[in-house]
């Protein structure tokens, strides 16, 4: 089993060692995903083309939502705050007899 190390810089960034980039076939601009394992380890994998498309689709959808909100004069923060307030109202209306 091979191992490679790198140092965390002041702002939290690090350089992925060349041996890891070669092994995962990472080119400039490639995306990676970190998976947190129950044993306390973190796996790093190259994002597949299909996964990247899904990520891009999600960001496109979020951009569309943001554009629609702006057109209505509403910020994302305002939307989230309103949702929080509505959830609180609904929660307060629940018959909580088992607490």
Structure tokens at 23: 């092994």
Shared-domain flag, residues 43 and 55: no
If residue 20 lies in a helix (H) or strand (E), which one and from where to where?
helix 18-24
Mean pLDDT of 45-57: 90
Q: What is the pLDDT of residue 97?
A: 64
Give per-residue pLDDT as tens, 5-16.
999 999 999 999
- Torsion sign (Cα): 52, 53, 54, 55: positive
**Average confidence score pLDDT of the chain:** 90
Share of the chain above pLDDT 70, in %: 96
63 within a domain of the structure (yes/no): yes
Shared-domain flag, residues 85 and 55: yes
Our count of domains for the chain comes to 2
pLDDT at residue 67 tops 70: yes
Mean pLDDT of 36-43: 95
Angstrom CA distances, 60 to 49, 54, 65, 94, stand at 16, 10, 9, 36
- Residue 99: pLDDT band (50, 70, 90) is low
40 within a domain of the structure (yes/no): yes
Domain that includes residue 89, residue range: 51-93
- Residue 95: pLDDT band (50, 70, 90) is confident
């Amino acid at each position: 089993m091979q191992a490679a190390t790198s140092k965390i810089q002041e702002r939290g960034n690090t350089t992925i060692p060349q041996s890891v980039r070669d092994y995962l076939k990472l080119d400039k601009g490639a995306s990676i995903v970190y998976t947190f394992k129950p044993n306390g380890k973190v796996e790093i994998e190259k994002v597949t083309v299909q996964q990247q498309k899904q990520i891009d689709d999600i960001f496109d959808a979020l951009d569309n939502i943001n554009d629609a909100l702006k057109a209505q004069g509403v910020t994302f923060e305002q939307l989230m705050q309103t949702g929080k307030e509505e959830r609180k109202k609904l929660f307060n209306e629940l018959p909580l007899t088992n607490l």
